[in-house]
């Protein structure tokens, strides 16, 4: 087994006790407070240190939960929760088994995080979609379910959508995106007469797919995609660092067209924090520069989420790796109020230490960071 694979296996799951120990190594309770944006004792991490991957004691009274707000999904007439369950690598790479993963999704839906996004090829043998499918057996009603296709032609995209329906135990998909259009040439390829866009539109005509769109990592490609594909939704890496910057032109353009914007990488895939419930994948290669976490004034988890939600977007998807993370995301969404301009500017400025961090940013930005 390679050294890298060994590290990945060891990082699959950290219990709450392990999380607290990891946080302590990075600065004790202050790290916990820093991540969530509140006092260290507010997290009560020590009260049940083994509960990061399970519910609290049955005897403990359930706290009253503030509902997760919802927003219009562009001009479609649909509304979705302002935060979504990101079922990518942070999810499937950290949950220890299929049933634990399904239970995490069920808990998120019960909590009001009823937007679940994934991809047709996330994880080996479609593990993300399969685990979602276990949860959908009992929790499909009221969930806005998204997947993404990687095939660029009609036949391949049709096969992927049919496979996704089977894996996720559903007869309809609320949103299907072209996954990661990385160039204007790919935009043209999916838009061709026998391209993947034709397959998605056909599935919409048949009532199997509700909405369509694409994801991209580059502003220029996002603009080209909006022009060529006339999507109902686009998913983009949007966070307070603003590398790349979608706020200047893409988000306003989408708003003018009535296109729903879904933010991803809101918290930098966990790369922006010195401690996470589980270790983010690829952090060794794409993580922050040395000394980045030494600053005392870094934005908190809640800062990053509230920053993005203060933009004219429909929702922010965040990778959920544990019940601990789920509760943090739900708490941030429930407490959201639009930030004033000076607060937005402050969070953006304090986040610049991460301007070269992440696998989703342009290569030149990583090299110049």
Whether the predicted pLDDT of 154 surpasses 90: yes
81 bridge partner residues: 70
Mean pLDDT, all residues of the chain = 86
Cα separation, 243 vs 349, in Å, equals 12
pLDDT confidence of residue 181:
98
pLDDT confidence of residue 364:
74
pLDDT-wise least confident of 1-10, 170-179, 273-282: 1-10
Longest dimension (CA), the chain: 60
For residue range 258-285, list pLDDT tens digits in order.
Answer: 999 999 999 999 999 998 889 999 999 9
Cα separation, 97 vs 104, in Å, equals 11
Q: Are strands 144-149 and 115-117 parallel, antiparallel or unpaired?
A: parallel
Reported as type and span, the H/E element at residue 324 is helix 323-334
Q: Tell me how far CA of residue 31 lies from CA of 18, 284, 301, in angstroms.
A: 14, 20, 11
Residue with tokens 């509902």: 67
Average pLDDT over residues 345-360: 97
Cα separation, 186 vs 75, in Å, equals 26
Q: By the 8 A CB rule, do 119 and 127 touch? A: no
Instruction: State the CB neighbour count (10 A cutoff) for residue 365.
Output: 15
pLDDT confidence of residue 315:
98
pLDDT confidence of residue 63:
59
Cα separation, 288 vs 278, in Å, equals 17
Q: Pinpoint the alpha helices (H) of 98-257.
A: 98-111, 127-139, 154-167, 184-191, 196-205, 219-229, 250-257
Of residues 112, 114, 110, 115, the one with CA closest to residue 67: 112
Query: Domain boundaries in the chain?
Result: 67-368
Three-class SS of 269-294: HHCCCCCCCCCCCCHHHHCCCCCHHH
Whether the predicted pLDDT of 306 surpasses 90: yes
pLDDT confidence of residue 6:
37
Cα separation, 209 vs 96, in Å, equals 31
If one compares 40 and 330, the residue with the highest pLDDT of the two is 330
- Percent of the chain at pLDDT above 70? 82
In this prediction, residue 41 has a pLDDT band, given cuts at 50, 70 and 90, of: very low
- Residue 55 backbone dihedrals phi, psi, to 5 degrees: -70, 165
Average pLDDT over residues 152-173: 98
Whether the predicted pLDDT of 29 surpasses 50: no
If one compares 347 and 60, the residue with the highest pLDDT of the two is 347
Fold for the domain defined by 67-368? TIM Barrel (3.20.20)
Whether the predicted pLDDT of 16 surpasses 80: no
Cα separation, 165 vs 171, in Å, equals 6
Whether the predicted pLDDT of 25 surpasses 50: no
Average pLDDT over residues 299-318: 98
In this prediction, residue 100 has a pLDDT band, given cuts at 50, 70 and 90, of: very high
pLDDT confidence of residue 275:
87
Whole-prediction pTM: 0.86
If one compares 62 and 111, the residue with the highest pLDDT of the two is 111
């Amino acid at each position: 087994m390679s050294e890298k694979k060994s590290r990945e296996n060891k990082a699959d799951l950290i219990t709450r006790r392990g999380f607290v120990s990891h946080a302590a190594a990075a600065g004790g309770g202050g790290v916990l407070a820093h991540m969530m944006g509140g006092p260290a004792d507010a997290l009560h991490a020590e009260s049940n240190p083994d509960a990061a991957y399970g519910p609290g004691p049955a005897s403990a009274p359930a706290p009253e939960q503030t509902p997760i707000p919802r927003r219009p999904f562009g001009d479609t007439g649909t509304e979705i929760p302002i935060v979504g369950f990101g079922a990518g690598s942070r999810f499937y790479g950290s949950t220890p088994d299929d049933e634990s993963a399904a239970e995490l999704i069920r808990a998120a839906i019960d909590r009001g995080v009823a937007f679940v996004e994934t991809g047709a090829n996330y994880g080996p043998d479609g593990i993300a979609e399969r685990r979602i499918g276990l949860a959908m057996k009992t929790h499909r009603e009221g969930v806005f379910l998204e997947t993404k296709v990687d095939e660029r032609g009609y036949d391949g995209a049709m096969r992927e959508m049919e496979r996704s329906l089977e894996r996720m135990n559903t007869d309809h998909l609320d949103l299907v995106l072209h996954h990661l259009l990385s160039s204007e040439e790919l935009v043209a390829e999916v838009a061709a007469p026998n391209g993947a866009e034709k397959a998605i539109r056909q599935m919409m005509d048949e009532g199997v797919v509700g909405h369509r769109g694409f994801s991209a990592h580059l502003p220029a490609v996002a603009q080209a995609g909006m022009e060529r594909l006339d999507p109902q939704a686009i998913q983009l890496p949007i966070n307070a660092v603003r590398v790349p910057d979608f706020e200047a032109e893409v988000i306003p353009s989408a708003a003018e067209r009535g296109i729903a914007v879904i933010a991803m990488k809101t918290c930098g895939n966990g790369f922006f924090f010195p401690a996470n419930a589980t270790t983010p994948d690829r952090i060794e290669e794409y993580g922050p520069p040395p000394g980045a976490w030494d600053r005392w004034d870094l934005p908190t988890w809640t800062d990053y989420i509230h920053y993005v939600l203060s933009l004219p977007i429909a929702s922010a998807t965040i990778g959920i790796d544990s019940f601990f993370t789920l509760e943090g995301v739900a708490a941030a969404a429930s407490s959201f109020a639009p930030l004033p301009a000076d607060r937005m500017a402050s969070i953006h400025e304090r986040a610049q230490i991460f301007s070269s961090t992440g696998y989703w940013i342009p290569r030149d930005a990583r090299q110049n960071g």
